[in-house]
Amino acid sequence: MAGRLKDKVAIVVGAGSSGPGWGNGKCTAVTFAREGAKVMCVDLKRAAAEETAGLIAKEGGEAFAFEANSANNADVKAMVDACMMKWGRIDVLDNNVGIGSTGGPVELSEDEWHLVFDVNVKSFFLTAKHVIPVMEKQGKGAIVNVSSIASIRSPKGVSYIAYNASKGAVNSLTLAIASQYAEKGIRCNAILPGLMHTPMIDFLAEQYAKNEKDHNQAYDKMIAIRNRASPTGKMGTGWDTANAALFLASDEAAYVNGHLLVVDGGITVRA
């Protein structure tokens, strides 16, 4: 396979989907492979990682699945060791994991706060901790962190304080790594997706609709509301996130470092 990531080795953390369909991580892993990368598909659920790796293999790409909790130091070290054992290098690290929890500072429990920060921030810290030394020895590498437009805006009537704060921390983590390791040939950038139609959103819509009298109508209503919220009239998809990740991971972005790339159809510029 030839392409923009030819001969590169990529680790995609969160490479599975939370349900049927195409999430950000799954789309990114497949896109990287289509562009010539060897892809390590990492997910908390082995079956999800194996599904993505299998899709890549069916298209003639090279991939393998690895089960890991990216918020666990031992798991992340094992992940990096396994990649090095198989391919001997790591050119791209793509962090896709993330969860949310509803509620403001009064409503949200302390345990929920810690869980969101463990998954959304600690995991990115740990993967960087173990991958950066490899990239330093190589003299080159690209890290792509998936954040959210929730890191820079909080619409009225929507309370996701832990999610907002954690994604803001991802932005700061990204900028700090970019600054510290630029001289070592390591770039670190973040993608800030807007409203995306992914399996996670389908799950949330189903949860919202399951107690409604007309389930299908309630589900369709929530999806329609999200579509109308975008200036384009529809949500984006995991492929939009994946294409942004491809650019940031590729040598085309060799002089792009410490950038927060908004991928939202224009929501954040709408008054």
- Has 181 been annotated as catalytic? no
- Answer left, alpha or beta for residue 5, where phi above 0 means left and psi between -120 and 50 means alpha: alpha
Chain centroid to Cα 60, Å, comes to 24
Among 160, 163, 181, 219, which one carries the catalytic annotation?
163
For 97, what's the count of Cα atoms within 13 Å in the CB-facing half-sphere? 29
Q: What are the two backbone dihedrals, phi and then psi, of residue 9, each rounded to the nearest 5 degrees?
A: -110, 125
- Two tokens, residue 190: 């973040």
3-state helix/strand/coil string of the chain: CCCCCCCCEEEEECCCCCCCCCCHHHHHHHHHHHCCCEEEEEECCHHHHHHHHHHHHHCCCCEEEEECCCCCHHHHHHHHHHHHHHHCCCCEEEECCCCCCCECCCCCCHHHHHHHHHHHHHHHHHHHHHHHHHHHHHCCEEEEEECCHHHCCCCCCCCEHHHHHHHHHHHHHHHHHHHHHHHHCEEEEEEEECCECCHHHHHHHHHHHCCCCCHHHHHHHHHHHHHHHCCCCCCECHHHHHHHHHHHHCHHHCCCCCCEEEECCCHHHCC
Task: Give me the numbers of helices (H) and strands (E) for the chain, helices first please.
Answer: 9, 7
- Active-site positions read 163
